[in-house]
């Protein structure tokens, strides 16, 4: 019986280590009709050390839609809690977020942090790399918006990227200003490949992925690879002709 009690105790501790904690810093939006609550996913099972902060919305009249949106946000925020390191209980992963835009119809979220190997592997504690994720939700539709949902002309978008019409805004060592042409060396021959990747959306940390977010005044393309990323921004007025009109209206433009 004592052994059974110890096993139950270990299970209880494991569940506690994987708990979702609720923080009480609440942001009121749209006349106190919509609230953003900060939550935390925590996993310290064995050698895992995983901490992901993510937002949840409260206050929608449609409780079913609210639950669906919150489930999608949480699932998107924890998409990097996977892979061999996670399966072997040896993943170190930390993400926090900033809400870049919210107005009651659209919420755009930017996550940044680091991942790596925890203890038990050669070089543990040293093999870390930066991470970036984005999630933008159409609250009215109750769905995550991918690039293919909002871009109406991918050819023009790709050409604008490779011609450096977007500004590099990610700061590395305190300095921003990376350009697509210098950092990634994409050319006009790359347009079809970039377009394909954009339509495919974020795939995994192991391949080059294209994602996006908005702060309400700028449209930002995120290019990420397994060990680095860059954000490239342009004023929304410069790309209104290649973005979905209904989406722009929901942004208040």
Residues 21, 124: one domain? yes
Residue 229 lies in a domain: yes
pLDDT digits (tens, 9 = 90+) for 176-207: 999 999 999 999 999 999 999 999 888 776 68
Of the pLDDT bands very low, low, confident and very high (cuts 50, 70, 90), residue 84 is low
C-alpha–C-alpha distance, residues 167 and 181, integer Å: 11
Residues 31 and 95 in one domain: yes
Q: Are residues 106 and 189 in the same domain?
A: no
Which positions ≥6 away from 70 have C-beta within 8 Å?
56, 57
Encoding tokens for residue 163?
Answer: 């011609």
Query: Residues of the chain with pLDDT > 70: what percent?
Result: 80
Residue 50 is encoded by which pair of tokens?
A: 């995983």
Can you tell me whether residue 162 is helix, strand or coil?
Answer: helix
| Residues 76 and 139 both lie in one domain | yes
Q: What is the pLDDT of residue 193?
A: 95
**pLDDT in the model for residue 14:** 44
Report pLDDT digits (tens) over 207-239. Answer: 899 999 999 999 999 999 878 999 999 999 999
Do 26 and 90 share a domain, yes or no? yes
pTM for this one? 0.85
For residue 250, give both structure tokens.
């929901």
Count of other CB atoms within 10 angstroms of residue 38: 18
Overall average pLDDT of the 126-134 stretch: 83
Do 120 and 193 lie in one domain? The reply is: no
CA 128 to centroid of chain Cα atoms: 18
- My answer on whether 94 and 156 are in the same domain is no
| Nearest-angstrom CA–CA distance, 71 and 73 | 6
Same domain, 76 and 129: yes
User: What was the pLDDT predicted at 15?
Assistant: 40
Give how many domains the chain has, as a whole number.
2
Any idea what the Cα angle at residue 224 is, between residues 216 and 227, rounded to 5°? 140
Of 13, 120, 110, nearest in space to 54 by CA: 110
48 found inside a domain: yes
- pLDDT value at residue 204: 72
Q: What is the pLDDT of residue 33?
A: 75
Among 145, 178, 207, residue at a domain's last position: 145
**How many Å apart are CA 21 and CA 95, to the nearest integer?**
15
Helix or strand holding residue 71 (H, E) = helix 63-77
- Residue 10: pLDDT over 80: no
Give the domain extent around 179. Answer: 146-253
Q: 24-50 pLDDT, tens per residue?
A: 445 555 554 788 999 999 887 777 788
Residues 113 and 166 in one domain: no
Is 6 within a domain? no
Residues 150 and 62 in one domain: no
Secondary structure in 3-state letters for 77-140: HCCCCCHHHHHCCCEEEEEEEEEEEECCCEEEEEEEEEEEECCCCCCCCCCEEEEEEEEEEECC
Of 161, 60, 239, which is closest to residue 253 (Cα–Cα)?
239
């Amino acid at each position: 019986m004592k052994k059974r009690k110890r096993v139950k105790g270990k299970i209880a501790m494991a569940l506690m280590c994987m708990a979702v904690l609720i923080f009480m810093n609440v942001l009121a939006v749209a006349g106190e009709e919509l609230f953003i609550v900060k939550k935390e996913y925590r996993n310290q099972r064995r050698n895992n050390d995983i901490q992901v902060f993510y937002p949840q919305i409260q206050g929608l009249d449609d409780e079913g839609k609210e639950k669906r949106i919150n489930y999608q946000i949480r699932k998107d925020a924890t998409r990097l809690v996977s892979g061999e390191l996670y399966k072997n209980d040896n993943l170190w992963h930390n993400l926090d977020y900033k809400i870049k835009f919210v107005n009651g119809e659209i919420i755009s979220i930017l996550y940044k942090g680091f991942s790596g190997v925890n203890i038990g592997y050669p070089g543990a504690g040293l093999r870390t790399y930066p991470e970036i994720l984005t999630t933008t939700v159409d609250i009215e539709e109750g769905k995550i918006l991918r690039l293919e949902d909002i871009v109406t002309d991918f050819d023009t978008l790709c050409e604008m990227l490779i011609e450096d019409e977007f500004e590099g805004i990610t700061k590395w060592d305190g300095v921003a200003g990376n350009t697509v042409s210098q950092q990634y060396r994409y050319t006009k021959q790359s347009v079809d490949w970039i377009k394909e990747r954009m339509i495919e959306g974020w795939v995994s940390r192991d391949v080059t992925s294209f994602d996006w977010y908005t702060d309400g005044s700028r449209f930002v393309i995120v290019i990420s690879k397994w060990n680095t990323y860059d954000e490239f921004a342009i004023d929304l007025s410069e790309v209104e002709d290649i973005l979905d009109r209904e989406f722009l209206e929901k942004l208040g433009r």
